[in-house]
Amino acid sequence: MTTITAREQDEIDRANRSGAQPVVFVHGLWLLPDSWDDWRALFEEQAFVTLAPGWPDDPATTADARRDPSVFAGKGVAEITDHYADVIRALDRKPIIIGHSFGGLIAQKLAGLGLAKAAVAIDPAPFRGVLPLPLSALRSAFPVLSNPLNHGRAVGLTPKQFRYGFGNAISEEESQRLYDRYSVAGPGRPLFQAAVANFNPASATKVNTRNPERGPLLVISGELDHTVPSAVAKASYKQYKKNPNVTEFVEFAGRGHSWWSTTAGVRWPTRH
């Protein structure tokens, strides 16, 4: 049992009072819940009620996170998933779950547990059984995986590393703005768990892809994503061929791993 923070409890209570369809946003590595603020505003305008829980022990602000990055160390996929599951089980109705990057992996794990009305996985980190390992994904993970000691540490990105992994499809100025606003350290453990998942039958990244209670799932990929290239996202989508629910894959042209940019245009997606 994880600890639900006062902020998260306030959001749960607000959602339950509203009677509206809840949408739970799950952030990824190197970010905090406020990275979803613009998305939340958009969904609230459409009469949804939104929640953005943190990973366990997430600091309140980017400034707090940069003052003490060690607070992120040691968190793994199972602990993060359990925390979101606790929040979701406190809701009066099943939410739509939307996750980005490692949040996309966790969104799929939560859906596989039967906790989602529907789920969206944006540029999702790979789970056990997803085999493609493009060079760009290895380069994006190199700041963590290059040192085995990082398994138990918190590791941040430099502006140059953020530019390659998140901001390659936008201007250098926009990438720097997003880095300054959102980028924080993150636990190394999830990346190591994903890297060895296919050698570990009990991997924390394992997803129940066949659960008939999963609900509809949309997997979204950015054409230019270095961190989770389209081949990885598409391989995740193909793991669901035996699930009876609707599963779709959409690739957005011109998009990288960052989905907060105000300058990167979106062209019509390719559906599969």
Cα 118 from chain centroid (whole Å)? 15
189-207 pLDDT, tens per residue? 999 999 999 999 999 999 9
Percent of the residues in the chain that have a pLDDT greater than 90, as a whole number: 92
pLDDT of residue 260: 64
- One-letter amino acid at 2 equals T
pLDDT of residue 1: 62
Residue 226 CA to residue 263 CA, distance in Å, equals: 18
Residue 223 CA to residue 206 CA, distance in Å, equals: 25
Residue with structure tokens 């390719």?
270
pLDDT of residue 2: 72
Q: Beta 186-187 vs 154-155: how paired, if at all?
A: antiparallel
Ordered per-residue pLDDT tens for the chain, 272 residues: 679 999 999 999 999 999 999 999 999 999 999 999 999 999 999 999 999 999 999 999 999 999 999 999 999 999 999 999 999 999 999 999 999 999 999 999 999 999 999 999 999 999 999 998 888 998 999 999 999 999 999 999 999 999 999 999 999 999 999 999 999 999 999 999 999 999 999 999 999 999 999 999 999 999 999 999 999 999 999 999 999 999 999 999 999 999 865 444 433 334 34
Residue 272 CA to residue 269 CA, distance in Å, equals: 10
- Domains present along the chain, CATH in parentheses: 6-271 (3.40.50.1820)
Cα 20 from chain centroid (whole Å)? 23
CA distances from 83 to 76, 90, 201 (A): 11, 11, 23
Q: How many CB atoms lie within 10 A of CB 106?
A: 31
pLDDT of residue 132: 86
Which residue, 234, 47, 207, 191, is CA-closest to 116? 207
Which DSSP state fits 187? Answer: E
pLDDT of residue 259: 82
- Residue 190, SS3 per DSSP: helix
- pTM, two decimals, is 0.94
Contact 123, 221 (CB under 8 A): yes
Angle at 91 between CA 90 and CA 93, to 5 degrees: 140
